[in-house]
């Protein structure tokens, strides 16, 4: 029985690595562009590596690096990063609902450390509860991809043509679409929610008065509104998580 359990854990971890490889490659590409921004802010390759290894958040890191380059105070930097990463408060709440009550505290904390948009999407789409070993497998690829991408971006970024750097900066968005589009084919409700998310995000970016609000706050409000409406119109039965 013990050998069977160990084999299942190994299979889950390997499955997580397999699903995490495209994420890690996407992170490497986007982090390369981030590394160029860090270099312009005077951050060394080692510092950039450590920052990305400990902060797996693209928008938050871009915001933090921008504040560092502007010689902002620690309080100003903290507030900017908090605003940029506000959506993770909602994501972590939704993610917690997909964890088994038997999930240990240290497993929850470790998964929460690397709760990124792409890993969140891959985890949520799993049938039933999310297995920690599966998520750890994804993390083992995603974190190095992001950290090493940043470091190499600082070292070699200036050698690449501007068009290539620009292309790298949008690679992650294409990968994220590849994660969510299959789910929209399987569920009309998810398809409607995704379309509404795109539409209202665009609308908030062009409406006078609203577009002046920081992107992080806009996304937080839009996410809350759409989530509440979706929950009221199409509530999810608790048994679905136990499948």
Domains of the chain by residue range = 2-180, 187-234
Report the first-to-last Cα separation within the chain, whole angstroms. 23
Q: What is the pLDDT of residue 239?
A: 47
Q: What is the pTM of this model?
A: 0.73
DSSP-assigned letters across all residues of 197-224: HHHHHHHHHHSTTTTTS-HHHHHHHHHH
How many angstroms separate the CA atoms of 206 and 216, rounded?
15
- For 108, what's the count of Cα atoms within 13 Å in the CB-facing half-sphere? 15
pLDDT at position 61 over 90: no
CA 149 to chain centre: 16
How many angstroms separate the CA atoms of 88 and 72, rounded?
24
CA 103 to chain centre: 21
What value does the mean pLDDT of the chain take? 82
Q: What is the pLDDT of residue 107?
A: 94
Share of the chain above pLDDT 90, in %: 28
Tell me the pLDDT tens digit for each residue of 182-201: 667 777 777 888 888 888 88
Burial class (CB in 10 A: 0-12, 13-18, 19+), 243: exposed
How many angstroms separate the CA atoms of 217 and 183, rounded?
26
pLDDT at position 37 over 90: no
158 closest CA partner among 28, 38, 19: 38
Q: What are phi and psi of 182, to 5 degrees?
A: -55, -35
pLDDT at position 146 over 70: yes
DSSP, res 71: T
pLDDT band at 231 (very low <50, low <70, confident <90, very high): confident
Task: Give the chain's radius of gyration (CA, Å).
Answer: 19
pLDDT at position 237 over 50: yes
How many angstroms separate the CA atoms of 28 and 23, rounded?
9
User: Where is pLDDT greater, at 205 or 104?
Assistant: 104
Do residues 121 and 178 make contact, with C-beta atoms less than 8 angstroms apart?
no
Highest mean pLDDT among 37-41, 60-64, 145-149: 145-149
Q: What is the pLDDT of residue 32?
A: 85
pLDDT at position 241 over 50: no
User: Where is pLDDT greater, at 33 or 176?
Assistant: 33
């Amino acid at each position: 029985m013990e050998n069977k359990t160990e084999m299942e854990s190994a299979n889950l971890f390997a499955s997580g690595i397999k699903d995490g490889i495209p994420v890690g490659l996407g992170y490497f590409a986007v982090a390369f562009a981030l590394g160029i921004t860090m270099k312009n802010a005077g951050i060394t390759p080692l510092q950039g590596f450590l920052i990305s290894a400990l902060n797996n958040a693209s928008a938050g890191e871009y915001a933090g690096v921008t504040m560092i380059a502007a010689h902002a105070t620690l309080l100003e930097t903290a507030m900017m990063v908090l605003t940029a990463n506000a959506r993770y408060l909602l994501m972590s709440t939704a993610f917690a609902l997909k964890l088994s009550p038997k999930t240990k505290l240290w497993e929850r904390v470790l998964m929460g450390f690397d709760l990124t948009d792409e890993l969140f999407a891959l985890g949520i789409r799993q049938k039933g509860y999310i297995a920690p070993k599966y998520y750890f497998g994804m993390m083992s690829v995603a974190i190095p991809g992001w950290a090493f991408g940043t470091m190499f971006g600082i070292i070699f970024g200036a050698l690449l043509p501007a068009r290539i750097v620009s292309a790298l900066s949008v690679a992650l968005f294409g990968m994220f679409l590849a994660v969510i589009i299959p789910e929209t084919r399987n569920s009309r409700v998810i398809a409607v929610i995704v379309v509404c998310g795109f539409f209202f995000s665009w609308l908030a970016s062009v409406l006078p008065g609203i577009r002046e609000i920081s992107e992080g706050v806009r996304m937080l409000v839009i996410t809350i509104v759409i989530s509440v409406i979706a929950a009221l119109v199409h509530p999810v039965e608790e048994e679905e998580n136990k499948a």
